[in-house]
Structures are given as structure tokens and as C-alpha cells.
Amino acid sequence: MPLSPDEAYYRIWALAPAGGYLDHPFMVALWARVGMLLVGDTALGVRFMGPLSACLGTVLIVQAASCWLRTQGTPEQARAGAVRAGVLLNATLGVGLGTLVMTPDTPVLLFVALLLWGLVHACVGQQRRMWLVVGLAAGLGFDSKYTMLLPLAGLVVWLFATRQGRVWLRTPWPYMAALVAVACTTPVIWWNARHGWASFLKQGGRVGDWNPARALNFMGELLGGQVGLATPLIFVFFAAGVGLLWTRRNSFALLLLCMIVLPLMVFVQHALGARVQANWPVVLYPALALAAARVVWPWWKAAAFMGFGLAGVVCVQAAFMPLRLSPHLDVTLRQMGGWPAFARSVAASVPKEFPLVADEYGLASELAFYASGRTVLGVEPRWALFALPRPACGAQAYLVLSHRRAGGPDARFFEVLDALPDQVRARRGIVADTYSLFHVRLRCPVPGQMHDAALLPGPAH
């Protein structure tokens, strides 16, 4: 499957290492970089660490569930529940499909699993030094995605609000874990401090969203997105697991409940004013899988089979397109369809001595990856934060512009010299998008605008 626009964008991150980026912390770039070093600057290289980290995260969840459930029943019941947790977790589309592509959710899921593994061994197994693992997982999870703060906030609430948590506060271990976590987050904090707190302000700015007129619509999208991403039957298991945590409120059950319910409350609050992206609550799936391990309904295998089946259908559609659907119905076509052939067609349509340019980060990143041997220029404010070469003022280039974007070329950056025939991106004859192609001259920017453009690295062959 071709890289999606976001994956191609994270590949640029991997080739321009930094302590942080505008959209997310650095871990997804490190994941992609390691994979590219192991198997090459290819789509497989960008994604290589995803399935590996999902496998390791599954092992951690299975072991955590086994350790916890041994205190609740027989060893046989503990083993069965642990297997159930691991299978149901992987049968969700959020994990089963989500870790086949490279996104910030891929590393954060591993570190959430590590966090839960450490907490089980610390709080249930009474291995106090495991708090250091908890701190490590918390810090590295923050380095992956800022939503890691939500389950960590639930952990803090448990420490202060419950008797068992306050017992731990009378020991040095939670404080040592906090020091380890802060040490791990230093690169992200340092990068933000040097770049005007850009990433913190971008993500933190969502807190003030408020649009009650559309709250009902946003709430429906939140619920529907989770039913779809968890798959319907596994969603029922997750909900039942949370119910069991509430009815059997022992120490660790309360901890899991805090780490699940508090983030859910944040997502519900956010849905009062803005759309909650379906993948945001995926950070809770490892904890929900642990909770579902105690749900002993016999049809859990059918729920898992449905989840794996749905994931298989999506993969087959992405790779072979047996169903000829429009891009409005087929997200795989919209995100991945036709990029290699489209980039080659664009590159062949313009003289080789001129660079290709795009003012949309995903499109620019796709051209940089698939238009082999061509110089690609990205023009957008986010490139100001990258350690990448800058273009020469007044150079001529060929601008690629999606028809989905309103308006023509931005007059601040481009002087249009000529318009060429449109180009289409398609898969098996179904058009995913249409693009205009312009011969342009890069305008000399006013002071401070030159850093809005950057030359993007293509694959090394």
C-alpha cells in the first residue's frame, strides 16, 4: 500500500531529526527512522516498527492481565482472561489496522501497554521498583503523543483520591517515577521552549473550543467512531469491562477506572465544542482490553473474529480494490490510492530542471517520496520549524494544487506564468482527486516569510 499523506509527512520528520515538531512529539519520527535504517527508505521501512511494537505491546498486556487476574481467580482463569485481553485488543481496528500504518498512535500504544504492565507489577505484585518502569513509560508515551497525559491524569487522581493510592504517596517511588518521566520529556520541552511553545500551543489550543449548537452531532460522531474503530461487539466487551470495574472496585480496578473514565470525560467535554477524531481515544484501548479480560461471555471469539474480518476487508480493499467505491466511501482510495503513478505522471509533465512545489504538507511529502529524482519544494508555515534547506527567491517551479482546496495559487508566494492540463490521482479507474498544475515563479517574501518554504528530501536510491 502506498504511504498515506500523513505517513509521507512523518517520513520527512524522520529525515529531519528534532526534539519535537509542530503537530506531535518526536517518537513517530524515531520509529520511522529506525525502520528506514533497518529495511530502507521505502513504505515498508516507514511502517516496519509498527507491527513489531504492536507485538511487544500485546505481550505486555497479556502478561499484565495474567498477573492481575491471578489475584482474582484460578491460574486457568487468569490465563484465559489474559489471552482474551490480547486477542480483543488486536481485533480492534484501532490496533489491528492502526499499527500497520505509521502514526503517533503506534508508539503511544506500546508505552501505554508498558505503563499498565509496570502498574500491575507495582500495585498488584508489590514490586516497588516497577514504579521506575511506570515513569519511563509515562515519559516516552508523552514523547509519542500528548494524549498520554489523559491516562496519566487518571493515575494521579487515583494516587490522591483513594486510600491505596495515598499509601503509595507515603513512599518515594511515585516521586521517583515522576522524575524519570520528566527526564524523558526533556527533548520535547526543550524543543518547544526554543520554538515559541509552538506544539504545546497548537494542541493545547483545542481546549477552548466551544460550539454547543453542534454538540449533539459531535457526540454522535464520538460514539459512532468508537463503535466503528473498536468494532461493535468488542465495544460491548469494553463497556462491560468498565461496568465490572465499577461493580468490583478493588484497588487496581479503581486505578483502571480512573485511567479510563477521566479521559472519557475529557473527550466528552471536547465534543461539546469540536469534533473528537476517532483515533484519539485509542490511547485507552490497552486499559479497556485489561478491563474486558474479566468479561467471560463465551462469544468473545466471535467478537474477535468479526474484528479481524473487518480489518482483513479493509486491507484487501486498500491493496486490491475489489469494491469499486467512490473516494467519499473508500478511505483507502482517498488516502492511499494512486500516489506512485500520479507523482510519476506529474514529474513527466514538466521539465526536469524545475522543482515541483505544493502548499499542502501531505501533497508535498507524497511528491517528495514518489516523484523520484525530482526536487520538491514545500510551502507552508509548518516548514519553518524544520531543519531543511530553503529555496532561492525568484526561482521558477511547477505548483501542484488539489481541487479540494478553495481558491487558486496563493499570490503571496507564487506568480503564475502558465497553467498546464489537470492531473488526476486514481486507482483502477476511480478518481481519488484532481490537481491543477501551474508554472510559477516564487515571489520574494517579506521579511520572516522565507522560512515558510523548504526543500523536501526524496528517497535515496
pLDDT digits (tens, 9 = 90+) for 131-189: 999 999 999 999 999 999 999 999 999 999 999 999 999 999 999 999 999 999 999 99
Which band of pLDDT confidence, cut at 50, 70 and 90, is reported for residue 445?
low
Distance CA 311, CA 306 (A): 9
Angle between helices 130-142 and 149-161 (to 10 degrees): 140
Distance CA 116, CA 109 (A): 11
Angle between helices 232-247 and 75-91 (to 10 degrees): 140
Distance CA 208, CA 134 (A): 30
Which band of pLDDT confidence, cut at 50, 70 and 90, is reported for residue 215?
confident
294-309 burial: b if 16+ Cβ within 10 Å, else e? bbeeeebeebbebbbe
Q: What is the pLDDT of residue 211?
A: 67
Distance CA 98, CA 249 (A): 32
Q: What is the overall mean pLDDT for the chain?
A: 92
Q: Is the pLDDT of residue 424 over 90?
A: yes
pLDDT digits (tens, 9 = 90+) for 18-46: 999 999 999 999 999 999 999 999 999 99
What residues are paired with 427 via a beta bridge? 430
pLDDT digits (tens, 9 = 90+) for 323-354: 999 888 999 999 999 999 999 999 999 998 89
Q: What is the pLDDT of residue 450?
A: 46
More confident residue, 240 or 380: 240
Q: What is the pLDDT of residue 460?
A: 64
211-244 burial: b if 16+ Cβ within 10 Å, else e? eeeeeeebeebbeebbbebbbebbbbbbbbbbeb
More confident residue, 219 or 238: 238
Q: Is the pLDDT of residue 280 over 70?
A: yes
What residues are paired with 399 via a beta bridge? 357, 438
Of 24-33, 56-65, 405-414, the least confident: 405-414
Cell digits of residue 385: 520549524
Distance CA 418, CA 285 (A): 51
Cell digits of residue 173: 517511588
More confident residue, 195 or 275: 195
Q: Is the pLDDT of residue 447 over 60?
A: no
Q: Is the pLDDT of residue 310 over 50?
A: yes
Of 20-29, 74-83, 211-220, 361-370, the least confident: 211-220
